[in-house]
Amino acid sequence: MGITPWEFLEPSLGSIARMNSDYTQQQSLGGLHRSEQMSLQATQPPAEISGYRIDTLLGQGAFGQVWLGSDLNTGRQVAIKFYLHRSGVDWSLLRREVKNLVNMSTGRYIVQVLSVGWEAEPPYYVMEYLENGSLEDLVRAQGALTIGEAVRMLREIADGLSFAHSKGVMHCDLKPANIVLDHDWRPRLADFGQSRMSDDQTPSLGTLFYMAPEQADLTATADAAWDVYALGAIAYTMLVGSPPYRSPSVIETLDTANSLPERLSRYRDAIRQNQRPKLHYRRRGIDKGLCQIVDRCLAVRPENRFRNVQQVIEAIDAWQRAKTRRPLYILGILGPIVLLLLVTFFSSRSSHVATTATLHDFQRRAIESNRFAAQLAARTLEKEIEGLYRLVETEARRKELAQLLMATSREGGAMLEQLTQDPNDESTRDRFAKLPARIQLQEYLELRLQKLVEAGQARGIAVAFNSLFVNESQGFNLGTIFADPADLTESSSLGHNFAYRTYFNGLREDGDKTKPSNSFQPIRQTHLSASFRSTSTGKWKLGVSTPVWEDENVADGSIAAPKDVAPIGVIVLTINLGDFDLLKYHEGEEQTSQFTVIVDGRAGAERGRLLQHPLIHAMDKETMRELSMPRMSVRQIEQLQESEGVADYVDPAAKFENAEKFAGTWIAAMQQVSLPHNQATRPEDSMTDLWVLVQERTSTVEVPLRQLGTRLQRETYIALGTMLSVVAVMWFFVLRLNQAFPAKAASSSGLGARNTGLSATLESDR
């Protein structure tokens, strides 16, 4: 559609009618009538122009017609304007406009005048034909432009305006209707009817809402700041869809004015008294820097605006450069941060992986160390047991013991038979205790226990003996001596039958005590009993027993005992399981980070029972008699028996009162205790039901390593923090320098206040 030619049908005069809207002056009723008559008659062009073919009438107005033609040499379409009514045309104004257009015909963003015929009849001039209409038509059709399109248009309009200023021409009536669009939708400045030369002192009125407030004065002198304001108003219109300050109330105020000076005064007051337009800030995705450029163009006071259009161009270019650099700045800032975060992540991960791997290696070595310690403790215990074997066997070979045992059995035979029938006959038991032979046996045992202690110390046996006692061939206890008199209790074992005990019958576990004593047979060789709980002290004990033979040759091993001959009794030497030196702590030292435990490994109800433990060692007699000893779970003992060790062992003693120090996880390994080799006929019989467990706190291995890992991580974080600080300081100076250079350039070119002070300047711009 041919829009531009219509813009040239009327002269661009700053009349009152023109001030009512964005359009050019309206025709009178007579002019409209004449135009109507001409439109009915115009079928041929008013004249022929050399070099051009005139094709179609595009439009006509009060002063002439506009025809669409083409250049015969180039084929380029042109618009030809004929002035048919000389009497109604201000020829000086028209000549000035055309002269200015001709002078600026080389401008990329200026409408080009191709030919002028002032002396022809009728007068005419030829201009390029722009078929895409005006910027006003575009905004009216689609509303606000996209931000990118608006910025492009603004930059190109500013280029055209700057070119005009460089030629000494100020437009003075810049508005969307006077900006036409070429075939590439590039803006072209048109309608220079109100333009003034830079040295022209005459006033020039523009269009309402695009005219600077100081321009709305019939005595004002043309200034480049007027075009700067109009440029800002056009930018605002492209971003918002309507010009700044335009509202129904303002329009009503202007329309009620009685004269042109009054209307101009009201227009100035409306701009100065109303709040600064801010609708462009509400555009989604708009940049604050662009809004500030528009605000500065629209400053009410000329001194607060850009002083010329070139400054606007520089501001737009600086804003676009900053906007282009912004992603680079963000990348430059976030890049090192992301890199540092990745380094931190992988450093932390590597540290964690290395710490975990090293911890597993340390735990494996700790398991191996504890297993070795358990093996060493088991071997030490085996040697102690072997020494006990020798002591008790030597004691059993003494002839005096056999004689006293037989004498006591003979004297008390009837009483023992009575006790067999009635185990609760305490009077018979008291009489049995007072038998002379039994008293002699008791004294003998007391003497021998003292000698055994001395002999054990001489042989280097580290254990402390608990008791020494003798049972006759049916299992009745004939006498017991305790190494510690404090172990004596009211409940004496004298006269009671213990044939069900493993130290008497040699079984792997105690038999049923309700069975008759003749259901059990006395042992025929030295035997390590299963652990048992003392009926008098409640302590867990271990007994080494051996048969006592009547025949001296059998007793000293010269001949084998006939199968049909039974021993006359059994002598038993007992020890408390907590009395082994390998289980004791160093004097004055309480160790809870690593210690040794003895575990009952026999199948049955007692499997996993802790026979020796620091918790048990610290118990008093009363507690020991009443409290059930800690016990490992079946899963725990099976896991320890079937593996080299574990790193997550939980001590069952931790569940007891005042045993919090045993809580947590432990690294544990366990080793089975074996019998002296000459006491087992088969290899599988050489293994006892005792297991030695060595446990060590996991934290003793983990804590130093984790502390090292924590220190390494802390050093890594310090290094990364230092690097980040250095990067931040560097970027601080880079940004400061980047801001300083544009500011310096702006100062030298007269750009005025920096953006940091722009808001305050504009707020006071009233």
Number of H helices, E strands in the chain: 21, 20
- Indicate the helix (H) or strand (E) that contains 355: helix 309-396
Whole-number pLDDT of residue 105 = 72
| Radius of gyration of the chain, Cα coordinates, nearest whole angstrom | 59
**Cβ atoms within 10 Å, residue 277:** 20
- Phi/psi at 134 (5° precision): -105, 165
- Note whether 37 and 192 are within 8 A (CB): no
The predicted-structure confidence for 604-628, as pLDDT tens digits, reads as follows 778 888 888 888 877 777 776 667 7
- Note whether 506 and 527 are within 8 A (CB): yes
Percentages of the chain per state (helix, strand, coil), in multiples of 5: 50, 15, 35
- Note whether 263 and 16 are within 8 A (CB): yes
- Indicate the helix (H) or strand (E) that contains 480: strand 477-482
Whole-number pLDDT of residue 125 = 85
For the chain, the distance separating the N- and C-terminal CA atoms, rounded to the nearest angstrom, is 43
Whole-number pLDDT of residue 580 = 63
Which CATH architecture fits 4-307?
A: Orthogonal Bundle (1.10)
Question: What's the pTM value of the predicted model, to 2 decimals?
Answer: 0.55
Whole-number pLDDT of residue 588 = 44
The predicted-structure confidence for 728-741, as pLDDT tens digits, reads as follows 888 888 777 766 65
- What contacts 148, CB < 8 A, 6 or more positions away? none
Whole-number pLDDT of residue 437 = 94
Whole-number pLDDT of residue 739 = 65
- What contacts 421, CB < 8 A, 6 or more positions away? none
**Could you say which residues of the chain have pLDDT below 50?**
1-35, 38, 40, 583, 585-589, 745-756
Average pLDDT of the chain, as a whole number: 83
In this structure, the chain runs to a length of: 766
Question: Which residues on adjacent β-strands are paired with residue 574?
Answer: 467, 543
Cis geometry, peptide bond prior to residue 336 (ω within 30 degrees of 0): no
The predicted-structure confidence for 125-179, as pLDDT tens digits, reads as follows 898 898 898 999 999 999 999 999 999 999 999 999 999 999 889 999 999 999 9
Question: Which residues on adjacent β-strands are paired with residue 482?
Answer: 467
3-state secondary structure 375-391: HHHHHHHHHHHHHHHHH
- What contacts 21, CB < 8 A, 6 or more positions away? 207, 208
Nearest to 742 by CA among 755, 730, 733, 732: 755
- Phi/psi at 665 (5° precision): -100, 155
The predicted-structure confidence for 102-133, as pLDDT tens digits, reads as follows 777 777 889 888 888 888 888 888 988 988 98
For the chain, the domains span: 4-307, 326-356+703-763, 369-702
**Cβ atoms within 10 Å, residue 671:** 24
- Note whether 188 and 182 are within 8 A (CB): yes
Whole-number pLDDT of residue 201 = 78
DSSP letter, residue 602: -
- Phi/psi at 411 (5° precision): -65, -40
- What contacts 741, CB < 8 A, 6 or more positions away? none
Nearest to 65 by CA among 56, 53, 73: 56
Nearest to 611 by CA among 673, 685, 700: 673
**Rounded CA separation 64/125 (Å):** 12
**Rounded CA separation 201/714 (Å):** 76
Whole-number pLDDT of residue 8 = 38
**Rounded CA separation 613/616 (Å):** 5
- What contacts 176, CB < 8 A, 6 or more positions away? 22, 134, 135, 136, 138, 139, 234, 237, 238
- Burial state string for 85-118 with b = 16 or more CB within 10 A and e = fewer than 16: eeeebeeeebebbbebbebbeebebbbbbbbbbe
- What contacts 501, CB < 8 A, 6 or more positions away? 475, 510, 511, 529, 532, 543
Question: Which residues on adjacent β-strands are paired with residue 690?
Answer: 600
Whole-number pLDDT of residue 330 = 82
Question: Which residues on adjacent β-strands are paired with residue 541?
Answer: 532, 576
- What contacts 194, CB < 8 A, 6 or more positions away? 12, 13, 14, 171, 172, 173, 204, 205, 206
**Cβ atoms within 10 Å, residue 593:** 11
Whole-number pLDDT of residue 754 = 44
Return the residue matching tokens 């700041």: 225
Residue 243's Cβ-count burial label (10 Å; 0-12, 13-18, 19+) is buried
